[in-house]
Amino acid sequence: MSRRPDPLAQVSDFDIRLLRIFRSVVECGGFSAAENVLGIGRSAISQQMSDLEQRLGLRLCQRGRAGFSLTEEGREVYQSALQMLGAVESFRTEVNGLHRHLRGELNIGLTDNLVTLPHMRITHALAQLKDRGPDVRIQIRMIAPSQVEQGVLDGSLHVGVVPQASPLSGLEYQPLYSERSLLYCAVGHPLFYADDTQLADARLDAQEAIAPTFRLPAEIQACYQALNCTASASDREGMAFLILTGRYIGYLPDHYATFWVQQGRLRALKPAERFYDLSLSWVTRKGRRPHLVLESFLESLYETR
């Protein structure tokens, strides 16, 4: 009895191209949303996804009136594709580095809402990188801290910025920012016009509050444990959405909340007492191979201190 050959006994350039399209479709959330990113029509995207499914012998996604969703096999292929495409880009960057020119990609994962920090070290470092290497392609992904760390570990990201919590083995952390978070409520909340000097801690702690689902140091987690957390959010923007309903209180970075404070939509509650300072670090993989673009970016980060 003859053995059926594996669907991908060899990976061709065509397969890699199809996997790049598949990655974009997944990250955009469907065929229609991916049209502008890929620069091709929906029908062409659909045809190429069908070609990829045929080559793999797997059904990767459901599409139709119910919307776009990945199958279980599709989710596994997506994760494998991220690792493979990251390895391909690492190879390309290393070979380009032999010519001592800044070429290739820099893939960065960021915790959300850092752009409003007054000391814009990341922005300045990216500007310097583009001055040194005009052909460098920069790709930024705004994702949860745990996804940033996982991306750096599996090689799909070159560098990330995350809140400094308990470090993961296999990663190196270096301090980058320190930001202060205050406890806020929005207009419409019962405490919005309360006098801080008359606001008892017991009344404050009884209000419905929001807790983050991302990792934080133990001393900061204690700030949330003191509150009546009945809702949660995976990122700071999600927390802002809930606070702005006027139904919850919650911590936000002061630089991020400034816009709404100036509009009169948010106020800090007992800011001299209810705050915490969080360190944010850039993170890279231990034992990483030489990567000229990454090293140039990190050098710029040091220079902007």
Question: Does the pLDDT of residue 149 top 70, yes or no?
Answer: yes
pLDDT in tens, 199-222: 999 999 999 999 998 888 889 999
Sorted by where each starts, the structural domains of the chain and their CATH numbers stand as 13-79 (1.10.10.10), 102-304 (3.40.190.290)
pLDDT in tens, 27-74: 888 888 888 777 888 888 888 888 888 888 888 888 777 678 888 998
The position carrying tokens 């009169």 is 264
Of 97, 52, 69, residue with least CA distance to 293: 97
Question: Does the pLDDT of residue 4 top 60, yes or no?
Answer: no
Write the burial class of residue 5 (CB in 10 Å: 0-12 exposed, 13-18 middle, 19+ buried). exposed
Tokens, residue 211: 């807790």
Q: What is the pTM of this model?
A: 0.63
Distance CA 132, CA 118 (A): 24
Of 168, 138, 175, 197, residue with least CA distance to 281: 175
More confident residue, 115 or 121: 121
Of 82, 93, 87, 100, residue with least CA distance to 138: 93
